[in-house]
Structure 1
């Protein structure tokens, strides 16, 4: 195990130990689509299911009705690849952001929250209108790329505040040469995973590569928006073939 992996494991253990499990040893987990930010489902985790989720990169939960662990999508194939896990200020609820492979609900609906209670007031209408008309703060914050905008924001925050023990702080403290080295390592590991035709490993390595590229962009003060604008401009140019 590399030093980086050891540090990551230690941080995970410290976090899990600080979580406030309820009297049944469980924790509510809200699952949200990392791209659309739609709430997909609500379930419970225990320490073992959280450990499995962290190790596998996919969601595992504890079934209260069956009193057993269950891997979301293990039977149906509708798995959820985890992009981040947050816990609230009271350390008693998890927010799990995922990239879903299929519908979250057993009914086949995208979200378990597909049934709406009609409101008897129009108070919500102005809010809905504002949400439809206001432009996004930047390109990375819209739609399926929202997780990139959030990650870019967190990385910038880490660079400014340099919280002790954070891996991102370590990278900025070491400087651009260390960051470039990590980009090269992750690119090589991405190539190896692709050559091995291991999509589970490829997903993890590409995620690591994107993260380190965002750290590099922050170090160089090159906004992700400019990358997206460049890609958009290339797409709009007339094809020569």
Structure 2
């Protein structure tokens, strides 16, 4: 991974030679975990493309997922404006980042409850993960599996029907119905993408490319 020596040198390591690292999921945007890195760990990350951190308790370098298989492929590394924090943009292998078995380390709310709902910007990518899981495991009571087993034409028929219903809802102007119908449409869009092996992230990348073109 390419990097600027000047940017690397701008990092403000603390008195222990460490900097905070935030790992953010490339597909969903969720924060997966926070850890520490020293210069060696950061360089190892840049050299290998896999997340490396520094354990303060063990006083040693560690590669995320080396024993569990829950590796983090690092797609980008960013440094914050003050140089005292680093951001890893990652792809999380096996979908689990936390040692507790949770998908991320921030599953506890300050009120003591467990966080179960994704934030709005996570929803489409998380929906695709659920669809992929359903199609892999094929539970008998799954609506997704039922539609999938009826074949491609049935999926595309439903996609078309939901598109028409969305148009009618938009024409009618009722906000609640618009939300409901477009939610159905988005579900069938993501299901269609999944059956074709196209990720939500790839569609977002194309939109991002167009943003750049239109600047």
- Tell me the TM-score normalized by structure 2: 0.54
Aligned residue among 61, 64, 87 for 2:56: 64
Pair 1:76-2:68 in alignment = yes
Structure 1 gaps, min length 5 = 120-127, 157-217, 222-241
> CA contact under 8 A between 2:29 and 2:121: conserved in structure 1?
no
**Secondary structure of the corresponding residue to residue 53 of structure 2:** strand
Q: How many residues get paired?
A: 137
Who is 2:101 aligned against? 108
CA-atom RMSD, angstroms?
3.4
Aligned residue among 124, 130, 152 for 2:209: 152
> CA contact under 8 A between 1:82 and 1:98: conserved in structure 2?
yes
**Secondary structure of the corresponding residue to residue 118 of structure 1:** coil
> CA contact under 8 A between 2:29 and 2:122: conserved in structure 1?
no
Q: How does 1:104-183 map to 2 (within 5 A)?
A: 104-118=97-111, 143-145=200-202, 148=205, 152=209, 156=212
Distance in 1 separating the partners of 2:7 and 2:93: 27
Distance in 2 separating the partners of 1:116 and 1:14: 39
Deviation at 1:146, TM superposition (A): 7.6
Distance in 1 separating the partners of 2:33 and 2:57: 16
Who is 1:199 aligned against? none
Who is 1:173 aligned against? none
Deviation at 1:143, TM superposition (A): 4.8
**Secondary structure of the corresponding residue to residue 96 of structure 1:** strand
Q: How does 1:204-223 map to 2 (within 5 A)?
A: none
> CA contact under 8 A between 2:30 and 2:122: conserved in structure 1?
no
> CA contact under 8 A between 1:35 and 1:147: conserved in structure 2?
no
Deviation at 1:69, TM superposition (A): 0.2
Aligned residue among 39, 60, 69 for 1:47: 39
Structure 2 gaps, min length 5 = 113-118, 124-178, 191-198
Q: Which runs of 4+ in 1 moved over 6 A?
A: 128-132
- Tell me the TM-score normalized by structure 1: 0.49
Q: Tell me which of the two structures has the higher relative contact order, counting C-alpha pairs closer than 8 angstroms and 6 or more residues apart.
A: 2
> CA contact under 8 A between 1:35 and 1:146: conserved in structure 2?
no
Distance in 1 separating the partners of 2:25 and 2:57: 25
Deviation at 1:79, TM superposition (A): 0.3
> CA contact under 8 A between 1:34 and 1:97: conserved in structure 2?
yes
Q: Judging changes above 3 Å, is the alpha-carbon distance between structure 1 residues 66 and 129 closer, same or farther for their aligned structure 2 residues?
A: closer
> CA contact under 8 A between 1:34 and 1:146: conserved in structure 2?
no
Pair 1:31-2:88 in alignment = no
Q: Judging changes above 3 Å, is the alpha-carbon distance between structure 1 residues 33 and 69 closer, same or farther for their aligned structure 2 residues?
A: same
Distance in 1 separating the partners of 2:75 and 2:104: 18
Deviation at 1:13, TM superposition (A): 2.1
**Secondary structure of the corresponding residue to residue 32 of structure 1:** strand
